[in-house]
Structures are given as C-alpha cells and as structure tokens.
Amino acid sequence: MTGVFSLLPEGWPGLLAAPGDSPSCPAAGGHAPPAAPGRLLELIAAAGLRGRGGAGFPAAVKLRAVRDAPGRPVVVANGEEGEPGSVKDRWLLRHRPHVVLDGLRLAAAVTGAARGYVHLSDAAAERAVRRALAEHPADLDVEVVRTEHTYVAGEETAVVRRIDGGPALPTAKPPRPFESGVGGAPTLVANVETLARIALIHARPDEAADIAGTHLVTLSGAAGAALVEAPAGTHLKVLADLCGHGRAQAVLLGGLFGGLHGAGWRDLPLDHDGLSAAGGALGCGALHFLHPEDCPVAVATEAVTYLAAQSARQCGVCVSGTGALARTLAAVARGEAGDDAAAQLRRWSRQLPGRGACGLLDAAARIVATLLARFPDRVDAHRVDAHRVDAHPAAACRACAVPVPHDGRRFTVRVP
C-alpha cells in the first residue's frame, strides 16, 4: 500500500488537507497579517512545539535564541531530507509551499529577520516553491538555494555553509547557527514541517496544542510505504496496520537515527518522550518495519554501510568508526566473524557517540547498540563456531546472503 493518509480526528487542522482547506494558503484568503510577534512566540512555547528535523528541540527556545542574539537575524526553511526513509519535507514543499513560506515569514517576524532562504535539493520542490513565491510574494526577501542531496546536507551547519557558497558539509560547533550563521548573522535553521506548523498555530491559535502534537510520519517496509499525519501518542501498531505492516516483528525508528526496536514495539507511542523512554528516538518521523522474513542483522548492516558511505569524511573518527562498524557487521552477516565481534561492536557503540561534527556517527553507533541489545540471539546465530568442523560462511542466513548495497535502497521511499 502506498499513498497519503490522515489519522486526525474530524475538524483537526492538518497539513495533508486539500490546499484550499488550509488556513495558511492563498486559496483560503492569503497570508494573514502577522500577529504580535511576542504573542505568537508565547503560543508556540505554550503549545510545546518541537522541531521536526530530527532532534526535537523546542521551537520557541530556538526562535528566542536567534531573536536575542546580537545582529540582524536570518531565517532558513530547511527542506533537505537526508534520511532516505523520509518524504514529508519534500512532499510539503511540492504540495504545500505556501504554508511553509507563511511559516518562514512568521519566523522572520518573531526573530526580526529581514532575509530568508529555502534550502532544498529536490527539483520538483524547487519548482513549486518558486511558483508559490511568484503567485504570492512573501513580505520577506526570500532566496531559494539548491544543494546536492546527501545524508549530511540538511545538518544545520552544513545548510549555513552551503548558503554561504561552500559545500553542504557540517562544521565544528561552537558556534552554532543561532550564534553565527549565514554571513556571520544569527540564523534560524528550521525544518519545513516546523515552519508549516507555526503557520497553522498562527492561523488557528485556539488549537495550537493539537497542531503542535501532530506529526507527519513516513512508513516503509516490505508491504509498501505511506506518508501519514497522526496525533502524538498514536501507537505504532495503528500506523503499521494502516499500511499493511501488521506482521512486522520489529521497527527501525527515526529514519536511521532512532535504532532498532523489537519486542513491544507495537505499544510504543508516537512522540519524542515516549520513544526516548523506551530507548529509541522519533527523529524525523520515519519508521521502517521489519517483517518476519527480514533479518535484523541484515537491516543493521545495510543501514550502517549506507551511513559509512555517506560520511562527510571530515572527521577521522567518523571515517574510521563507521568503517569499522560496517566491516564488522558485514562479517557477522556473512557468518565470518569471530567470537570477539560482538564485544568489539558493543565497545565501539559505547565509545563513538558524540565524537563527530554531526549526528551520522551517533546514528551508526545507535543502530549497532540496539541490534546487540534487542536481538542478541539473532547476532549469535550468525557467529562462526570455530570448534565446529562444518563451520562455513555458507551457513549464514538467507536474508544476509545477498551483497550489501551502499545506497540505502532498502530504506529509500519515493515521494507520493
């Protein structure tokens, strides 16, 4: 099953409604004059809106930091989706560009910015955004910046670097963009869904909490893919059943960032705090379901191999760390790893997080850590028993017998 689905109760404001039904689009009367910036910021804070780019950082805190920094701020709508399993940002830019641009101008009003950028790599999204700007120019100087699509191109310092004319590669922190971003100015780099929800909050302030508590999620797996809008707290079982993934035995959370979860995944809630309490992460809202015929070792190996190939190759620890994780996992999958492989992987998964300039290394380490913690029997089943005379790589499981691709094709979802 593929498509776009809404699980919102009747009457709730959502982003998957027809364009003419959206209170922030010109078809519904144009962009409303900005409310008092301070009042809008209070609404965003009270609603508890969190960023939708992956980290889930409180949106009001980020807006306030940019507003209060010295210098004239810049605002950026970040539509570069690095996660191969996520389509929500490209879908919004293609089909709801006016709502995103409305959120960008409102963020500019809150922070005091006079310039804005839309950062993206998708050609169809670029055409839609440029058309929207021509149809209904924002009261803000907005420039569209196209970048190459990579896993790290949407990281906030990579966004700033690209807009400033450099490559879309992360830089060391500090400073962070809110301190010194585009052209050295304090810069808000906000995910396009975050901005779209700011636009909805501005249009329907009485429903701010419902708007902030709603998520766009991309579901994928052997049964197909879909983009779904659902209230926070929706059990993952509901999402899985909607798209034919009810048979799944596990789920890879948050794109490639939230790790693997096995037993009990059906009762996990769709929200940052609930998934964090269970040792996972919502990330960008991409969920990849593993069916009984999928081997968690094979899935983890492909994910980490993809991350290793996508490394910006700027941090030595990332290059060596992701490479070591990928090679060792591949050996486990082939049935060629020795007795110490699991111990090595466990040690690396504990030592590597936090040591790179971006979250790529952390994502790889978390996948390995959750594989070892939640599927130890499956890992052990791939181990070579050196004392067996019949031990041979051919004994590896059928799902792991195919070569591991480097392009993340298992997780890649097409925009519906």
| pLDDT reported for residue 25 | 58
Can you give the pTM of this predicted structure? 0.93
CATH class of segment(s) 296-400? mainly alpha
Radius of gyration of the chain (CA): 22
| pLDDT reported for residue 394 | 45
As a whole number of angstroms, the distance between CA 256 and CA 84 comes to 8
Tens digits of pLDDT across the chain (416 residues) = 578 999 999 888 899 976 656 666 554 445 666 768 889 999 999 999 999 998 889 999 999 999 999 999 999 999 999 999 999 999 999 999 999 999 999 999 999 999 999 999 999 999 999 999 998 776 789 999 999 999 999 999 999 999 999 999 999 889 999 999 999 999 999 999 999 999 999 999 999 999 999 999 999 999 999 999 999 999 999 999 988 999 999 999 999 999 999 999 999 999 998 999 988 889 899 999 999 999 999 999 999 999 999 998 999 999 999 999 999 999 999 888 888 999 999 999 999 998 888 889 999 999 999 999 999 999 988 875 433 444 444 456 878 888 888 888 999 999 98
Q: Find out whether the peptide bond into 23 is cis, omega within 30 degrees of 0.
A: no
As a whole number of angstroms, the distance between CA 23 and CA 177 comes to 31
The alpha carbon of residue 323 and the mean position of all alpha carbons in its chain are separated, in whole angstroms, by: 22
Ranges of each domain in the chain: 8-210, 213-290, 296-400
311, 318 Cβ separation under 8 angstroms: yes
Beta-ladder partners of 174: none
| pLDDT reported for residue 173 | 87
Nearest to 177 by CA among 186, 190, 165: 186
As a whole number of angstroms, the distance between CA 297 and CA 383 comes to 11
114, 140 Cβ separation under 8 angstroms: yes
| pLDDT reported for residue 21 | 61
| Fold of the CATH domain 213-290 | Ubiquitin-like (UB roll) (3.10.20)
As a whole number of angstroms, the distance between CA 344 and CA 383 comes to 13
As a whole number of angstroms, the distance between CA 70 and CA 180 comes to 10
20, 27 Cβ separation under 8 angstroms: yes
| Fold of the CATH domain 8-210 | Rossmann fold (3.40.50)
Tell me the HSE value of 406 on the side-chain side, using a 13 A CA sphere: 9
